[in-house]
Amino acid sequence: MTEPTIPDLTTSPPRRRRPRAATEVKRDYLLARAATLFAEKGYEATSLRDVSQAVGVSLAGLYHYFESKEDLLYQVQHRTFASLLHSQEKIAALPGTPEQRFRRLVIGHLGFFTDHPNELKACTYELESLKGDLYLTVETLRRRYYHLFTMAVAELMAGSVEGARETRESRHATLYIFGMLNWIFMWYDPARHGSVEQIGAEMLDLILHGLRRAQPGN
């Protein structure tokens, strides 16, 4: 089966005109507050009235920005994944060895999600809450990001950028790594666990070298 053509979705959702700067700032604020409510209460338990009360905007005012609660969740997820993909694609394009590229992607991923913990929770817990075209649009972004990371893992496993390709092993390894990275919001506290760079270094050491240390003389 041939791969579908993947559109460039790293800008605002294509079905809306580009808003003015002030409107965009307001939308970002509304999305951040909505993400917090979705993270705390869950999508199903959060109503648009809850969001309007939390942000101090009337329901009519909220409908100026979002067509429905599902549209609100869609924009939270789309904005989060598009922003992550855009920043990580720039990082991946920087020169360096496969290990350097992989390290930058891991630190970039951790840094993004520790800066956006509520968006991470909303995206993680509510992946299946979107339906139809809205789900497929977000799924396309997620697949692009998965492919970006899988290729970095494949290059690391091959030891070279040249000739590296996705394999069953590199795809599985990427899923294992995502499981480690994406669950950080459940436990990470910078006061207790150190900086993102420290956590990233520990994760990288585990990924690259495993739990066993070389024994003296080996």
Average confidence (pLDDT) over 162-186: 88
Length of the chain (residues): 218
SS3 percent helix, strand, coil of the chain, rounded to 5, is 70, 0, 30
- Give pLDDT, residue 210: 84
Query: Is the distance from CB of 38 to CB of 66 less than 8 angstroms?
Result: no
Which pLDDT value is given to residue 5? 39
What number is the average pLDDT over the span 189-203? 89
Least confident interval from 14-23, 65-74, 178-187: 14-23
Mean pLDDT across the chain: 86
Domains in the chain: ranges and CATH? 67-209 (1.10.357.10)
Tell me which residue has tokens 């900086």: 195
32-86 pLDDT tens trace: 999 999 999 999 999 999 999 999 999 999 999 999 999 999 999 999 999 999 9
* pLDDT one-digit tens code per residue, 116-167: 989 988 998 898 999 999 999 999 999 999 999 999 999 999 887 777 788 8
Percent residues over pLDDT 70 in the chain: 88
- Return all residues near 78 (Cβ < 8 A) that are at least 6 apart: 9, 13, 137, 138, 141
